[in-house]
Chains A and B, each alone.
Chain A
Amino acid sequence: MSIEAVDTRARGLRPRAASDTVGRRALLRRLDWLLLAALAGTAAYGLWAIDGITMHDAGGSAVTRQALYAFVGVVVFVGVLFVDPDRYRRLWRPIYFGTLGLMVFVLVAGAATRGSKRWVDVGAFKFQPSEFGKVLFVLVLAGFLAERTRSINSAGTPLAALGYGLVPIVLVFVQPDIGTALVYMSALAAVLFVAGVRWWRLGALAAATAVVALSVLWIMPAAGVNVLNPYQSARLTGFTHPGNDPRGATYNLRQSITAVGAGGLRGRGVLGATQTRLNYLPEHATDFAFASLAEERGFFGASILLLLYLLVVWRALKIVTSARDMFSAIVAGGIAFMFMFQVFVNAAMTMGIAPITGIPLPFVSVGGSSIITNFLAVGILQAIHMRRPGRRRS
């Protein structure tokens, strides 16, 4: 490392263009190998799991298609490694408005699927802007907050960030895709948290969120204003009283808990997992994939996946601390928390301790947009890690 001595006070400071001086091969050597291993492990394990989960479905195993998406994801991952995250910081405005434009486009012209408009057709493929939007959302907010690092303690910055954040959240919410909207909210919270917004402002924000949630789920319906469809609020609140409506909203939940429980320690195998095979467990390839995995592979099988997730989260948090600048730290923190939030809400919902929302299980649930987005997210983490300051081996 060669430091241009400008000033004795400048010791420890580095020239602006320092990162650009490192070659590509040198960069690759700075990869977080543990995170890479966790990524490869999770992706491979997810493919294996989804093969068993979808084996008996009408269309046959989805593993080939899913592997294709994973391959695209790997390509995206490798590509992202060579993009300096600083570019995202500089480009946050175009990214933001581009994403918003896509989301509006989805709302206006997107294909209506299962009562909600989430997909955009691109030739033979459909993609879900809100899924990619998760990562972009973190990049945008991080870009904005990094710009305002100095005024982070003022009231204006968090409020402005909230304003930027709420627009896509509302757009996703009205698709309607409450699950993804929740993920966006978690990302917003994480980003504000890592950026250093004051504790009491975070507390006030949490309280305000709680008030909004309460009024949407309880006070406003009681007053006769229904923001959510009845089925939506039944799904969100159903887990608190599962025995209530065995044939209705909590039917899925009971079947899911049954599937998880029936898996036992070692699992029932692909053939023996009747909850999945005979279709008692609905949406087992997507929203309830965790329950299906738990039924087929048991406590051991589900635990392996959870441990792989934990490894990813741990490495992501590690990268927050080794980040080169504030922007990178915020991005890594946002991605880490968002990832953890998705894992938790999805797995917990299948076990009856979280509301039922349509959140895909990272690297497992069938769906191209989701898996590619996850590769993208981990790719950005790696890109940040590779550009960390410190001893370089070049």
Chain B
Amino acid sequence: MPQPQILCENLSLGYEGETIVKDLSFAVEAGMYLCIVGENGAGKSTLMKTLLGLRAPLSGRVVYGDGLKKRDVGYLSQQTDVQRDFPASVREIVLSGCQGRMGLRPFYNRDEKETAERNMARMGVAELADRCYRDLSGGQQQRVLLARALCAAEKLLFLDEPVSGLDPTVTADMYRIIGELNQAGVTIIMITHDVAEALACATHILHLGSRFFFGTRDDYLREMRDAASEKEARTA
């Protein structure tokens, strides 16, 4: 059995005095496409921030394995107010994805500049390189942030609601790109509201909230079906 890239053991998450997720254990293996679904406030973003090491869990632990290091991880966060009117060119933003591996070196070297150009081309934003980020459409902005995440890492990507606020065509496009990245071997951990889409593309599902589920998509579908027929039987 391959060693998992991320292993969560008995994780409890929440804010002071209030636990929202209790005793969560699961493992993420290389090549997985894991969708985290659940109601608002079920702790999806909190879980992601904990996995990223941005906040400490109340108890339990997160272990990175399989040679995965902090600098192998990319992150596409939800947009903040600060970013919406930030004066920066697309190239400046994508390059900043390389920061993690720079240590104290003050300037980017040729390798990092090439990585940035390559990822901009991969995400189809190469011709926007000198444009200002805030002048772009929502879909273009997400592609830029995805290119930046790819500069940070090519092993594992965390995506927090990558399609929120995008129109249907752009959304489909975004899912296609993420799917292609997964095909190319990138492990994906994605938070989404869109359960239908999650079921269409994910290999594994993590359901937080009213009830807990972690397993493959097919098991999830079966359990959903069982739950539905059980409910039907009860009402009948």
Co-assembled chains A and B: no
